Structure 1
Amino acid sequence: MNPQQKELIKATIPILRASGEDLTNYFYARMFKHHPELRNMFNMGNQANGRQKSALANAVLAYAENIEDPSVLIGVLKGIGTKHRSLNIQPEQYKIVGTHLIDSIGEVFGEAATLPILEAWTVAFYELADIMINLEKGLYEENVAKPGSWNGWRKFVIKKIVEESAEIKSFYLYPEDGKQIADFHPGQFISVQVFVTELNLLQPRQYSLSSTFNPEYYRISVKKESGIAPNPNGWVSNTMHSKSEGDVISISSPAGLFHLEKDSENPLVLISGGVGLTPMLSMLETNLNSIQNKKTIWIHGCRNESVHAFKDQISALKEEANHLETFTFYDAVTPENVISNEVIQGRVDLHKCKDSILLEEARYYICGPEMFIKTQYEALINLNVSQENIFYEEFGPQLINLN
């Protein structure tokens, strides 16, 4: 891209700031009209609730704002590439996206989209596409080289389903072909692909692996989102909760940048809200199995005891491991909770346990809803925790960028 084209890209920044979501909303509608088969690859829940168009609008704006040095976005691009690998995104699909994105810019921006601007954005998009294609090529090669791993989708049998709380079920997934499965880092996820009757579509979703690695199966723990019509995110979780033992689903091999390094000796502070506890449980179990004397603090918050998944398992782990300390926050408590003195009423407040969590060289992992992550991140910063020691996982399209 030449200097003149970069200046033209930067000239569109005010329009992107003002009308970026109008552009991405139009783009998705246009692309799905011409390529309805792609609806099987995209999360239609995030299409319906607007999160995907917001994420794309933010990404396009960030690229324009950093067009002089896109390398500053490499961390974000790695996260996108990792998710693309888990969804089996292929190079030819970038051409489809590029065609409809450039055409959408011309049609939405109108007279402001001059021929030189459209040419500049075409060059800019395909330069970015080349970066992503090469990045993802490396991820595919690295992934398939791992023992037991695979690219694309592989069929797994649901051999066991366990109710963990009033709204979370665990699914034990065994490879239908009986062959080896790949190891993973605690905190990583798999993509699940199921047919959703209400949409008449295949739909993918990412679910964190919720246990330490077992060479026979993967375990995911899925929260059933209430209300499909007002809450489109519930389409896949309700489909999963309707599954029976013996059913077969397709999954991708483990992926994700949010994870615990197994050989790390740093103290751990795990902070989770709601179903955000799933990757933390994998970290906790792996930590228990690998390094018994590494100090670990787990702070968890949820609405009440009935939706507190894995409560008994965590208590058992706490009995077994003297390095583990827990703090539990419930929005609503019972007299029994108060008597047991094991629960703090209200939302998670890190200042109430700051004497325990401010550990030298500790690593802090946060997982939960978007606002939960922002609140706990800001609390840690206010407690003088360094940004480089804070890691977080946002389920769904990435809408926050705190580090």
Structure 2
Amino acid sequence: MSQPVINEDTLDTVKATAAVLEERGTEITSHFYKRMFHNHPELLNIFNQTNQKIGRQPEALANTVLAAAKNIDQLETLLPVVKNIAHKHRSLQIKPEHYPIVGENLLAAMQEVLGEAATDEVITAWEEAYNVIADVFISVEKEMYQEAEEQDGGWEGFRTFTVVKKVPESDVITSFYLRPADGGSLPLFEPGQYITIKADIPGEDYLHLRQYSLSDAPNRAYFRISVKREEGGGQAPDGIVSTFLHRHMNEGDSLELTAPAGDFYLQEGSRPVVLISGGVGLTPLMSMFNTLAEDPSRPVTFIQTAQSRNLHALHEYTSHVADINPHVSYHVCYDTWTEAEEKDPYVQKEGYLDAEWLQSLKLDKEADYYFCGPLPFLRALNRILKKELHIPADRLHFEFFGPAADIEE
């Protein structure tokens, strides 16, 4: 990404506002979303309203805006963040015409929240900076749209798929096997990528878009997603889409999907691989695991953690793959277990995953490590791998579900 030309005064003004954004960024972005949805309710067909209600989306946007302010004079350093967000935008069908709407309401929110501190100079500088950043996103996303459409089996927009098989994998996770309704071919994808589904749920005012990892290897005759039924608790609502899929989506029904996307995927190479999952975080790693299981030249270790056996998906399958493949190692950790789990050779730890147990597994320090799960799990594991197992940062690859957050504790 070449560095766009931005006026020197604009650079100074935007960087000078970084401290204000750090202090009041989430307040600004929360107001921005309310304002934008009031003015453009049609965008409620795109944005995840659950993330809005629990505050994850405003916080994620605030962090992105803050990063842009701090690095406005060297935007190339933000390229990994840009590409990560651009993948999500392409999957959600964010188009160039959406950017002026976002810009108008974001700048207005800054003025309304900051009051006199948002001088004409500040707003003018941010308008110029926003337009430059928007152009970067639009350019990156244009290439992604073209690639998704032009690849063999690819398509543009949403494509109708049929549920050909529905398989319960645990008390809370069910797999859906999907084939194109038009009988056409499927594109290859990178193991670890996701698709977006569009759910038109009876009784809901707007469409709901959700991104789900593809949980099987590429080059199959189907796509598979393994969906956890999200149960609310406290102030969090039940998962609208996951509940709909579990209770109402059956074999023979149709779903609309966008083409696979995402920048968390298995890298090519010959290094051994260690996969570590927390709960439903196993879904993108299962795609990587199934790919690696077919390649005996590349050893793979799969470590899965779950609260208990009844909540653990695909255990029998993974055990079978480990049984018949010498290059595959498999280890399971449950928060709590019963006498039945004590007899399972692959269930080896009760309690939380910790450094002592990981060290006892004699993991390859030269391997690439991929991990996925809830944010607290990722933060703890990231610290263990870096500080106690001394795995270099460039060997660590991770993803968490939902808007981006800081993995460093």
* TM-score, scaled relative to structure 2: 0.95
Cα distance in structure 2, aligned partners of 1:370 and 1:328: 19
Aligned positions of 1:146-161 closer than 5 A: 146-161=151-166
Cα deviation for residue 355 of structure 1 reads 4.6
Cα distance in structure 1, aligned partners of 2:392 and 2:100: 41
Q: Which residue of 2 aligns with 1:8?
A: 13
Give the secondary structure class of the aligned counterpart of 1:148: coil
Cα distance in structure 2, aligned partners of 1:84 and 1:30: 20
Moved over 4 A (4+): none
User: Do structure 1's residue 279 and structure 2's residue 273 form an aligned pair?
Assistant: no
Give the secondary structure class of the aligned counterpart of 2:200: strand
Q: Which residue of 1 aligns with 2:170?
A: 165
Deviations 1:287-312 (A, max 9, x none): 112x1132111111101000110011
Cα deviation for residue 361 of structure 1 reads 2.6
User: Do structure 1's residue 250 and structure 2's residue 266 form an aligned pair?
Assistant: no
Cα distance in structure 2, aligned partners of 1:358 and 1:343: 15
Aligned positions of 1:98-117 closer than 5 A: 98-117=103-122
User: Do structure 1's residue 340 and structure 2's residue 362 form an aligned pair?
Assistant: no
Aligned positions of 1:179-194 closer than 5 A: 179-194=184-199
Asked whether the 8 Å contact 1:191–1:207 carries over to 2, the reply is yes
* TM-score, scaled relative to structure 1: 0.96
Q: Which residue of 1 aligns with 2:325?
A: 321
Give the secondary structure class of the aligned counterpart of 1:181: coil
Q: Which moved more, 1:206-215 or 1:71-80?
A: 206-215
Aligned positions of 1:349-368 closer than 5 A: 349-368=354-373
Unaligned 5+ runs, structure 1? none
Q: Which moved more, 1:17-26 or 1:231-240?
A: 231-240
Cα deviation for residue 150 of structure 1 reads 1.2
Deviations 1:80-102 (A, max 9, x none): 00111111110010011011111
Q: Which residue of 1 aligns with 2:22?
A: 17
Q: 1:40 aligns with which of 29, 45, 66?
A: 45
User: Do structure 1's residue 389 and structure 2's residue 388 form an aligned pair?
Assistant: no
Check 1:245–1:229 CA distance in 2 against 1; reply closer, same or farther (3 A cut): farther
Unaligned 5+ runs, structure 2? 1-5
Cα deviation for residue 344 of structure 1 reads 0.8
Count residues with an aligned counterpart.
401
Q: 1:294 aligns with which of 276, 298, 314?
A: 298
Amino acid in structure 1 at the alignment position of 2:322: K
* Identity across the alignment (%): 40
Deviations 1:335-378 (A, max 9, x none): 12224353310011243132535315310001000111111111
Q: Which residue of 2 aligns with 1:201?
A: 206
Asked whether the 8 Å contact 2:319–2:330 carries over to 1, the reply is no
Give the secondary structure class of the aligned counterpart of 2:174: strand
Deviations 1:161-196 (A, max 9, x none): 000000000001110111111111111111111023
Asked whether the 8 Å contact 2:13–2:125 carries over to 1, the reply is yes
Amino acid in structure 2 at the alignment position of 1:216: A
Check 1:303–1:47 CA distance in 2 against 1; reply closer, same or farther (3 A cut): same
Check 1:256–1:182 CA distance in 2 against 1; reply closer, same or farther (3 A cut): same
Cα deviation for residue 401 of structure 1 reads 5.1
Q: Which residue of 1 aligns with 2:335?
A: 331
Check 1:280–1:104 CA distance in 2 against 1; reply closer, same or farther (3 A cut): same
Cα distance in structure 2, aligned partners of 1:229 and 1:45: 14
Cα deviation for residue 215 of structure 1 reads 3.9
Cα distance in structure 2, aligned partners of 1:61 and 1:233: 31
Cα distance in structure 1, aligned partners of 2:44 and 2:109: 18
